[in-house]
Amino acid sequence: MKKQTTPTPMISVIVATYQREDYLRFALESITKQTYRDFEIIVIDDGSTDSTKEIISSIPDIRYFYQENSGVSVAKNRGVARSRGSFIAFLDSDDLWHPEKLEKQMEILNSSSGVDMVFCHAEQFIDKDVSADKRKKLYCPVAPMPALVSSTVLISRRIFDMVGDFDTALRVGIDVDWYLRAKDAGLRIALQPETLFYRRIHPGNSGYLNKTKKQQHAQVIKAHLERMRAAGKLTRSE
């Protein structure tokens, strides 16, 4: 009997999640409703103890992997390692995509040989269950803005591998560090004008930055500047 093979998807969508039972289903459904259909969904569960597994099991055709709690960078890297697609996309498990996100970005990559990866604009919103008191403490811009983060990027696996994995030593600034390394590598980046990503603001996400987190952000920027100086693109006075 001839062995059946699993069709190779064009895009691997990677969702790293930890204790996001309140939001995970909405994130996954925003992927399943994409107008571009040639994709797989990979969920890396970073040690959740809530109903994450039950939520995932209720949605068909998701490749689910569990790991002991190791951090979002490790989870995303593991998702990439498990991916089968020619292209890579990510979505944080508390956020949402526009239904045409993948379709519109694939159009750009297919029509422009000079682009290595494409990002889009984002709109931010405060979760409806956040109390009035907590809303006062959360910063939520009204206008859409450029979002150079992993949840908006579409990139070929080959180009992702050129930049390398997410830095597992970081707890914040992970996307910033990866994006700056992509820039340092001279890769060609397109920013799509449409708003195709919706970031949920709530007390559990990085809207709250403590002193340690701010220090890590500063370290990420410093490392970028040092790489530029080493490449002769900056002088020590800059």
**Which DSSP category does 169 fall into?**
T
Biggest CA-to-CA distance, the chain:
69
Least confident among 18-32, 164-178, 207-221? 207-221
The average pLDDT across 188-210 equals 82
Adjacent-strand bridge partners of 154: 89, 118
The average pLDDT across 56-65 equals 96
Give kind and range of the element (H or E) at residue 173. Answer: none
For 65-101, the pLDDT digits (tens) are 999 999 999 999 999 999 999 999 999 999 999 999 9
- The reported pLDDT for the residue numbered 235 is 38
- Sign for the CA dihedral angle at 128, 32, 17, 14 comes to negative
3-state secondary structure of 3: coil
Least confident among 135-139, 176-180, 185-189? 135-139
Q: What confidence tier does 2 reach under pLDDT thresholds 50, 70, 90?
A: low
E-strand ranges in 91-135 read 96-97, 117-126
Q: Domains of the chain, with CATH numbers?
A: 11-169+184-207 (3.90.550.10)
Residue 212 has pLDDT above 70, yes or no: no
- The reported pLDDT for the residue numbered 55 is 97
Find out whether 61 and 131 touch, Cβ atoms under 8 Å: no
Q: What confidence tier does 232 reach under pLDDT thresholds 50, 70, 90?
A: low
161-to-166, 185, 194, 226 alpha-carbon distances in Å: 11, 12, 27, 22
